[in-house]
Homo-oligomer: A and B are copies of this chain.
Amino acid sequence: MFKAKVFVSLKQSVLDPQGQVITNALHSQGYTSVVETRVSKYFEIMIDTNDKQKAEADLKSICDKVLANPNTESWKYELEGV
């Protein structure tokens, strides 16, 4: 069994309006030292196999085809045995 931790983030060049709204809200509540907020998605995926290579191959394919929009988002993952 493997646990995959997947981060799907907007590419650095893509505007993050949700993050901007949070930054503005924090400023208006007095947290003036916050200069930038970026919002991403984080997935924890349990994969039931003993074959790490297959788990990684599946995971890359899942990130590319299901979890991320390759036009605007990038992804990375960590895979650990559990």
The reply on A33 being an interface residue by CB < 8 A is: yes
- Across the interface, name the chain B residue whose C-beta is closest to A6: B37
Binding site for B on A (CB under 8 A): 1, 7, 9, 19, 22, 25-26, 29, 31, 33-49, 54-55, 58, 61-62, 65-67
Specify which of B22, B41, B47 is in contact with A34 (CB 8 Å cutoff).
B47
Distance in angstroms between the alpha carbons of A33 and B58 in the assembled complex: 9
Specify which of B36, B37, B43, B62 is in contact with A31 (CB 8 Å cutoff).
B62
In contact, B41 and A39 (Cβ under 8 angstroms): yes
30 contacts between A and B (CB under 8 A): A7-B42, A22-B43, A22-B67, A26-B62, A26-B66, A29-B65, A29-B66, A31-B58, A31-B61, A31-B62, A33-B47, A33-B49, A33-B54, A34-B46, A34-B47, A34-B62, A35-B46, A35-B47, A35-B48, A36-B46, A37-B43, A37-B46, A38-B44, A39-B41, A39-B42, A40-B41, A40-B43, A40-B44, A41-B41, A41-B42
